[in-house]
Structure 1
């Protein structure tokens, strides 16, 4: 009797189909897994930098390069043009205020002085002559006035006498009228002489004042000419050292041309270039430090130049406070720390390449067993060349990876391989 043979449900074709579907599902699941932010990446420990979060004193500062300069530098320019006639000192000489440096020769200036002196002397002589003439004229008028007064008094005496005699009928009317007319004439003449003398006195005073003003102007002009001649001899304006002397005997120098400079003995300052990014945060009175192997020397910002140069920097002048480092020389370059805040306790995160990829918003934190590192959100505040100040996301003792994350992409977890 024939028996019905049942067909197997798990033939090769069906098994292959199911395996293919399963593989596709696993592939899709793996893809979802690795793109869902839970991917891992094996990292050799010797190729990364692991740093520990510590708590310690923190100060915000930036390093700037400063050049040592004299506190006072005065530039010497030719006040008057001329030919270098004589050099009294050489470049580098130490001078006292008023010491001559060089002498220029300018014939025009010297001739103008001579002419001005002659004009003043001539004006002075003419003033004296005019004054003598005025005095003589005044004396003559006074003598005339004296004569007039004498004649007036005599006419007054005769008039008063004849008036009395005429009242007593001792003399006639004709004789009395002669005395009266002469008296009135001498009275008028006296009044006129007095007015002339008064006006002459006023005129003499005005002329004398005008002569004095004219003479004053001429002497001021003479003093200016003498100063111009004096300026031909260039002298040290302060105690200091002569530098950058650019003048040789026989060389012609134009008016306003640079001759040399004097570096004062009053002390040294440091001039630094600061990135324009900090221009709103730098002000006079700020503290800075010059660190050496054994000591930090304190400085204070004395002047801020607000103009920004072509290199995107602005300049500040700083002065040492208290002790000054020994052996500093003009032109020496110092690395200065310009401080924006005083030291205060803070959570310190060492600087590293990680910041370029994270912007300080997250970091890879090492697990307690040291086998993995995973992303944690953090927040940093201030910084200096060595540390970031952490204000959220980490605590003292935590270990984090501070080297570059350039090759990690969107990896969420690092497997640390020793």
Structure 2
């Protein structure tokens, strides 16, 4: 191609480039105003708003008891099943009591014998008994005197050689026996007259009391062999089988009061100062997607727990469960209602912008241009913002303008980029 041809082409390209740059500059600077009909708006409406702290939690019975026996033994019969509801005092489990029942019968027989002996000791001697004792004494006295006379006579006869030594010794033995019998009869006569000595009666009474104590202990062991429900509850688990032996430390079964549940959640250190005891809690459960349960904050733990490098604090939520729909172990979503306002002015969160600690909305000015307006806000959540000052019910607020118009734009033409992002700077 000749130089004469190249020069006009180059000049033409340069002119076209200049025209294109000029066109784009003028287009950006003199872009037509976007009429209000092209901008989406939303009206300020009245409604309710809540500030909530939401966390997941796990359900447990509010009252949970692990039952242990008063005394050990072999399990004879289990009377309940897992999931069964029981009332306070209902029997749950029975231990074998055959050995205890044998011991009880022996103790009861010993008690009767000791009681009869004590009653006899406490009786005053009857006239017949006294006469019998006196007669026995007199008989023993006569026998003694006769044996004494016989011995004395035989001693004289032995001295003369009339009787043998063996005969003399026999009479001496009879004398000693008669003397002993006389002492016994004398003592029995004295006892009959005086009755049982007080110290002997005290011993008999002590023995009777000890046997009575033994009986009471055995009876309590037999009573404790039937384990009963300490509260109205539900059997959550049974930890032993029939025929197994248990000690006083063995957990037999676990009971829980499922009419009142608790959810344990962990709230991060940023939100925990907002949480207070008594705040209402909205409970959602996957098993009942169309049903809402309600509870309240019951306990707030003071010792933080580090979870994934975040400090959290345990919060226990009390949840009534009168129909027994909630089960232990279920996962719940707990919305702790920090604060709630009713019949207040509301806007969607995307209609409000925060700049340097101030909140702005954009409304259409009389000149047909979006104008920023400062507002005072109250409660906020993920979808709504409460408007306290700056707007009235029914006011229309522009959407999609936030961040594209400077609050000091005044009467300048706003740069609008409806349908796409602004061009790069």
Larger RCO: 1 or 2 (CA < 8 Å, sep 6+): 1
TM-score where L is the length of structure 1: 0.50
TM-score with structure 2 length normalisation?
0.49
